[in-house]
Structure 1
Amino acid sequence: MKIARFRSGSRTAHGVVFDDEVAEIRGSIYTSFRITDTRHPLSEVRFLPPTDPGELWGPGLNFVDHLEYAGSVFGQDAMPVPEKPQPWRKGRNALTGVNDPIIIPKDTAGEVHYEGEAVAVIGKVCRRISVERASHYILGYTCGNDVSERSWQKDDWTFWRAKGADTFAPVGPWIETEVDPQQLDLLVRINGEEVQRCNTSDMLFSFAEIVSYISQQVTLKPGDLVFSGATGVTRAITPGDVVEVDIPGVGVLSNPVIAEFEAGQGK
């Protein structure tokens, strides 16, 4: 089932996607709901980030073939294989949706990179759960882009702006509730050219392990988002590009790239 959050006119609603239309629901996507007869063509709605999360979490380094590149960002050899997840928060202000622009800050060094990832959507209040129980607290999965400014990653002690700047967390287009999260192909395209491909089976730590680990100290709540981590070597994106994160069986997250001044900011 594909569960979407969308705007039609001045109304915001959740719905279930069927082919070329979305049917509004009544009730809560986290407890129970019914599908209504109110339907909208997909072409006539604006899809929003599928939840309004309080928290966005990354797992730290989570693919072996990203370790050497991650080391190069910090001017060192390949990062060691982590023995446990190294979770960190991504700013809530960074959240944006499908077809919304990724805004390149005017003071960037020109090293804003994509990181296409799968994203788990928390469905229940989640505190001190086991790995074996973690999947029961996940509503479904969506596409995400952990946009990252590499020079800021190297220069700052934290990732507060490198990964948390405005629009640096595109997520969408909807939540898919019926997929195997550890058997998802994940592709990234820039202007139609494939630049990244992997499978979530290669994650060092599964979604269940990451969610369980975070929950030992932090209460995750319905709608919170947990990213998979990225793979491989990435490259810079520039204004005029279109970045697509494609997870077959889930959906395609597409975002144009614009400069800050084009967005009417920072003048």
Structure 2
Amino acid sequence: MENRSYIRIETESGPCWAEERGGEACLLTAAPFFGGVDTGWRRPLDGVRLLAPFEGNKMVCVGKNYFDHIEEMKEAFGDGVPEKPVLFIKPSTCVNDPGGVVSYPAVSHRVDFEGELAIVIGRRMTHVPESEALSYVFGYTVCNDVTARDIQKGEGQWTRGKAFDGFAPIGPRIVTGLDPAALTVITRLNGVEKQRSSTSLLIRGAAELLAFITEAITLLPGDVVLTGTPAGVGPMEKGDTVEVEIPGIGVLRNEVG
């Protein structure tokens, strides 16, 4: 599959999907994973406001999927590799735009960044074998799995600690045709690099994760699967700027407020 790039932008008539082509946003009739086609309308990419490229039902997330992250978090969550992938859900209310503000919840005093590769589903998936799983993928994007670490650790509730409004900045675009095992995840806090790893180091790769998830959960077009974060996670403070970058996809930048 060729590399194509899709964004979701603000327009005078509301949010609109577009394909990035030749320095222009080529507006679509609908999300590309819902069969959207070119409307013929064009606008320069310069100056467009990017929105989260998400129009799904849910985010299914994976924890403890890099060895180095398991090691750094062993005092809180144990140091063993889980027998099965650890899953949790982020509701659609977590979604945050590129450039959006990540707000500290009143009930938390430690909010962490977690840079991750995100898989965007292109077709309905249920009980899909690993050998076929990647053929159901539409493309890939960048996500920050923001986490109220004190809640996750203190209460033992992963979903509650990760499901606050705005706790899933995603974007800036979806790119098709990438190899999910050959990408680099980089996170910077106020310009200082905190995370750098390769998706080749995932304990369980994209196809294995999708096969496991769809044994129990039906994935729909536009749903997103977060593949886990590498070592280097850490706290963010109000006023900080956090950037998650995957070369070939782009930089997801957000402020903390």
Listed one character per residue, the Cα deviations across residues 103-129 of structure 1 (whole Å, up to 9, x for unaligned) are 1113322x2110000000011000000
For residue 34 of structure 1, report the CA deviation from its aligned partner.
3.4
What stretches of structure 2 of length at least 5 have no aligned partner?
none
For residue 73 of structure 1, report the CA deviation from its aligned partner.
2.8
Listed one character per residue, the Cα deviations across residues 159-186 of structure 1 (whole Å, up to 9, x for unaligned) are 2331111111111111100211110011
Contact 1:153/1:162 (<8 A) preserved:
yes
Secondary structure in structure 2 of the residue aligned to 1:45: coil
Quote the residue 1:195 is aligned against: 194
Quote the residue 2:171 is aligned against: 172
Contact 2:88/2:159 (<8 A) preserved:
no
Quote the residue 1:263 is aligned against: none
In the alignment, structure 1 residue 235 sits paired with structure 2 residue 234:
yes
Contact 1:57/1:89 (<8 A) preserved:
yes
Which deviates further from its counterpart, 118-127 or 4-13?
4-13
Percent of paired sites with the same residue: 34
Quote the residue 2:32 is aligned against: 29
Which deviates further from its counterpart, 205-214 or 148-157?
148-157
Contact 1:73/1:153 (<8 A) preserved:
no
1:81-230 alignment, distance < 5 Å: 81-109=81-109, 111-230=110-229
For residue 202 of structure 1, report the CA deviation from its aligned partner.
0.3
Contact 1:98/1:253 (<8 A) preserved:
yes
Listed one character per residue, the Cα deviations across residues 137-167 of structure 1 (whole Å, up to 9, x for unaligned) are 1100000000111111112132233111111
CA RMSD of aligned residues (A): 1.5
- What is the CA–CA distance in structure 1 between the aligned matches of 2:213 and 2:136, rounded to whole Å? 13
Contact 1:190/1:241 (<8 A) preserved:
yes
| Counterpart residue identity of residue 85, structure 2 | P
Give the total of aligned pairs. 254
| Counterpart residue identity of residue 50, structure 2 | F
Which deviates further from its counterpart, 127-136 or 3-12?
3-12
1:8-27 alignment, distance < 5 Å: 8-18=11-21, 20-26=23-29
TM superposition outliers: structure 1 runs of 4+ over 4 Å? none
Secondary structure in structure 2 of the residue aligned to 1:161: helix
TM-score normalised to the size of structure 2? 0.93
Which deviates further from its counterpart, 79-88 or 34-43?
34-43
| Counterpart residue identity of residue 42, structure 2 | R
Secondary structure in structure 2 of the residue aligned to 1:166: coil
- What is the CA–CA distance in structure 1 between the aligned matches of 2:226 and 2:214, rounded to whole Å? 15
Contact 1:91/1:160 (<8 A) preserved:
no
- What is the CA–CA distance in structure 1 between the aligned matches of 2:30 and 2:230, rounded to whole Å? 37
TM-score normalised to the size of structure 1? 0.90
What stretches of structure 1 of length at least 5 have no aligned partner?
259-267
